[in-house]
Chains A and B, each alone.
Chain A
Amino acid sequence: MRKTRVLIVDDSPFSQAVLQKTLPDSAFEICGLASNGQEGIGKYFVLKPEVVIMDITMPDMDGLECSRQILLRDPAARIVILSSMKDEALTTRARLLGIRWFLQKPATREDLVTMIKMAISRIAPDWWPPYLEQLRLSFEEFLNKSLEPEICTFSAVKSSPPSLDSHGICAIIGITGAHTGRVILDTSHETATAFAAVLLGRPSTPEEALGCLAEMANIVCGRGISRANRISKGLDLRITPASLLEGKKLMISNLPNHYMLAVKADTPIGTFLMSMEITEE
């Protein structure tokens, strides 16, 4: 397996040393070290790492400015902020730049690996319409927000079987407009029931679990598609109401001639799968 290449931008030799000692293993390698913002930008475009671990306080420019300059030239850059400072003003600034992976020092290796994997899983295949990234972000935001402070791990599902084998219950939402398609949100009864209980703050009934999944699909798709419409004018994408399916065994056939991307969310209460299928034009 090819290792994930990580560039570290941090002015502290101590921090650099700690990361060099803890991070590399069979999955990760450190491809470069930079001690200030300018050096970080230079090395990013020479080394082209998959992920940057970025400190904030540095002598020539802060890590967010350095990230901004990298993202300006490479909007696909994946940057994880690792800083001793973490407050709302900083996380908001980071989010406005499109950076959502923010860790406070000292971070455990496990936290760092989780964060790097989250950043990586967002690397969309070349063909994927960029605006649909909004759907995926919306899914991740919804789960993260609903379950915080618990950590959810997101990963792209690579294989594409001819049909989706449901875990027990799923919501299907259709997409109409310049691109047609659908979104499937799938999980088990147990996970849906646990999730409804988290949102309600009390034990939930199976009926409430179904309602919760339908509402989750509606919010995730509604927000994602609204943002997509704002980003790409003229798409006029709309969502249909959710159809809810439940049963012992059910398989949903893939849509022919549609692109598909599936994201799996591993959460403390169980696994959710979101599958998105869309026509090219």
Chain B
Amino acid sequence: MDARFINPVIDAFREILPQLGLTDIQKGKLSVGTNAVESLGVTVIIGLTKEIRGNVAYNMSEQTAIDIASTMMGGMTINQFDDLPQSAISELVNMVTANAAIRFEQMGIKVDISPPSLIVGTDFRTRLLHEKFLVIEMLADGHLIQLNLGMESV
């Protein structure tokens, strides 16, 4: 996968999450994943077309999703990961990916993104564009969000 795809996604994450109330953003480990993304509990998938095609899976635990959604909603207490926090997390993924798409556009690469699909469950995995994909671990206020990029230039 093209190394140029990495920074726009990380920069988008760094720009958007503070706007949603998460102040401390750290980049963690970078690695290559193979076969499938094992879900941590909540996986949000977004598809890409035009000059980059592929898919990105944002992966986090349900507790992380609840904590982040709570921060996004001004510290509201959330007991269950139901409609409201789910739509908050989908929105976060949509904003980060749309911001990354704008950054690609500034690099002269046109990208369109699909709406995010949010999946919850136990013991499930997601296969992306290719068998190998890039895994970026990001920490937002100490919460782990794993970004899995399966992308290729067209």
Contacts and interface: CB of A to CB of B under 8 A. Distances in A.
A102 B69 CA distance: 54
Main secondary structure of the interface of A (DSSP, over half): strand
B125 A246 contact: yes
A259 to B, nearest CB: 12
A239 interface: yes
Nearest to A173: B47
A239 B118 contact: no
B55 interface: yes
A182 interface: yes
Interface residues of B, number: 35
B118 A247 contact: no
A243 B127 contact: yes
B9 interface: no
A166 B46 CA distance: 18
Nearest to B46: A174
A256 interface: yes
Given A172-B45, A245-B124, A253-B120, A258 B115 contact: yes
Interface in A89-139: none
Given A240-B48, A240-B49, A247 B124 contact: yes
A273 interface: no
Contacts of B86: 253
Contacts, number: 111
B112 A247 contact: no
B120 A247 contact: no
Nearest to B54: A241
User: Lowest 8 A-B CB distances belong to which pairs?
Assistant: A174-B114, A247-B124, A240-B47, A174-B47, A250-B121, A176-B112, A244-B127, A250-B124
7 contacts: A174-B47, A180-B115, A182-B114, A243-B45, A246-B127, A253-B90, A279-B115
B32 interface: no
Contacts of A177: 112
Contact of A245 (B47, B50, B119, B122): B119
A181 interface: yes
Given A174-B113, A184-B117, A247-B39, 15 more contacts: A162-B83, A166-B121, A174-B46, A174-B47, A176-B113, A181-B115, A182-B114, A214-B127, A239-B47, A241-B129, A245-B119, A246-B36, A248-B122, A250-B39, A252-B118
B80 interface: no
Contacts of A214: 127
